[in-house]
Structure 1
């Protein structure tokens, strides 16, 4: 987390959390969802405005984390902005090295935020989507990288186990659509 964000949290510790205004799609793109967009329909049917500004995306990436309940958020200064997830909290990019013909070659796996990681298990859901579990958590393989992922499976590096898409959040401890806490009665 950025030092300036940590300082803002200390200075203003009780800023209300924000829900419904930021979303992550299955290709690792961020979407801003203003009130009009939220009224028009749920994510991902109505996505909103794609975040294209490089510095803003980098700021979101550096300040992206999960709370104890598995709800992912972007810490925007003193305000926690919870993220709606189309699929998973991570979207994995898979790329083989240039010298992939070597016997010990393995694909490079990096997140939509640019973090590299290792694969601990693989899962194939009922819709044919491939998930990688890593020390960072569960994520969906980016659709453009399925050929490289298939190559890892064919090489015997990954052995996907069955998974239903609906069971992924509970099984791997994340929330697709964080909700504000209920007001006390």
Structure 2
């Protein structure tokens, strides 16, 4: 977490949390979901405005974390902005490494040390569990993933998508969960 964010938390410890305004899709793109977009429909059916500003994306990446319930958020100074997830907390990018299994890096730029499990959901999407958590493999990297499976470096097991958040303790829609508890 950035030092400026830590300082803001100390200065203003009781700023209310923000729900439904930020989303992460299955390709690692961040979207802002203002009130108009939120009224138009749930994420990911209505995504909102894609965040393209590199410095803002980097700031979000450095301050992206999960709470004790598995709800992911971006700590924006003193305000915690909860994130709507399309598929998983991470989107993995793969990079070839000779004959070895591909290197796995999160959409936030953090490298994973290894793959603990591979899962294939009913839509044919590939998820990898690492020491960082669970993520979906970016669609552009499925060729490298298929090579790793063919070389028996990864052995995906079938799983229902609905089972993944329970198994890996993450919340797809903190806004819906918050509204249900309110």
Question: Which one of the candidate residues 105, 109, 115 is aligned to 1:114?
Answer: 109
TM-score (norm 2): 0.95
Q: Give, in whole Å, the separation in 2 of the partners of 1:92 and 1:119.
A: 11
Point out the structure with max Rg over C-alpha: 1
Partner of 2:143: 147
Q: Which runs of 4+ in 1 moved over 6 A?
A: none
| Superposed counterparts of 1:77-92, under 5 Å | 77-92=77-92
Consecutive unaligned residues in structure 1, runs of 5 or more:
none
Cα deviation, 1:82-130, whole Å, max 9, x if unaligned, reads 0000000000011203xx14xxx23110000011102111111111111
Root mean square deviation of aligned Cα: 1.0
Aligned length: 178
SS in 2 for 1:116: coil
Partner of 1:133: 129
Q: Give, in whole Å, the separation in 2 of the partners of 1:154 and 1:7.
A: 49
Consecutive unaligned residues in structure 2, runs of 5 or more:
none
Q: Give, in whole Å, the separation in 2 of the partners of 1:106 and 1:88.
A: 22
Q: Give, in whole Å, the separation in 1 of the partners of 2:150 and 2:95.
A: 15
TM-score (norm 1): 0.94
